Structures are given as C-alpha cells and as structure tokens.
Structure 1
Amino acid sequence: MSHMRKYTAYSLYLFTGFGKIRVINNETNRILAIAGISPDCDFSNQL
C-alpha cells in the first residue's frame, strides 16, 4: 500500500510540475512572439 501511495504522490507532483512548466512555456512563447520569433519547433525539439 505504501508503494501505491508513494506512486500517487509522485504522479501528482509530476502533474503539478508539468502544469507550471506549461505556464512558463506559454509566457516565454508570448514574449518570443512579441519579438517576432516562432518558438514552436524549437520547444518541441528541446522537450
């Protein structure tokens, strides 16, 4: 049972972490779009 509880906590941690990363990427994309750069292919390659 402790293994499942640990796995659930870890998956929740990853989910919230990816949510924060997505927000940061959206902010970065907006800044780069204002600068006239299209970052879509670059970000997908880095991830």
Structure 2
Amino acid sequence: MDLLALVLEKKKKALENNKSFQKATKTNANSGNHKMPMRKAGRGK
C-alpha cells in the first residue's frame, strides 16, 4: 500500500513536470520559424 502511494506520488510529480515542460515548449513554439532551422543545424553537427 505504501509503495503504491509512493508510485502514485511519483507519477503525479512527473505529470506536473511534464505540464510545465509543455508550457515552456509552447512558449518556444511561438517562434516556430526560429526553432526549425536550429533543429536542422543541430542535426548537421
């Protein structure tokens, strides 16, 4: 039971982290035209 609670807590935290990460990505996505060339440059390296 205690282990299950621990796992649930971990999942909850991961979900929260994911949400904040998605928010950060969305803010970056606003400059989408800027993001694509950067990605290509990274691949070239």
* TM-score normalized with structure 1 length: 0.66
Q: Does 1 or 2 have the higher relative contact order (CA < 8 Å, sep 6+)?
A: 1
Q: How many residues align?
A: 37
Higher helix share: 2
* Runs of 4+, deviation exceeding 3 Å: none
> Scaled by the length of structure 2, what TM-score is found?
0.69
**C-alpha distance in 1, partners of 2:35/2:17?**
24
Report the equivalent of 2:10: 10
Q: Report matched runs for 1:1-47 at 5 Å.
A: 1-30=1-30, 32-33=31-32, 36-39=33-36, 42=39
- Which runs of no fewer than 5 residues in structure 2 stay unpaired? 40-45
Deviation (angstroms), 1:38: 4.5
Query: What is the root-mean-square deviation of aligned Cα atoms in Å?
Result: 1.4
Q: Cα deviations across residues 19-38 of structure 1 (Å, max 9, x unaligned)?
A: 000000000111x23xx324
Higher-Rg structure is: 2
The equivalent residue for 2:43 is none
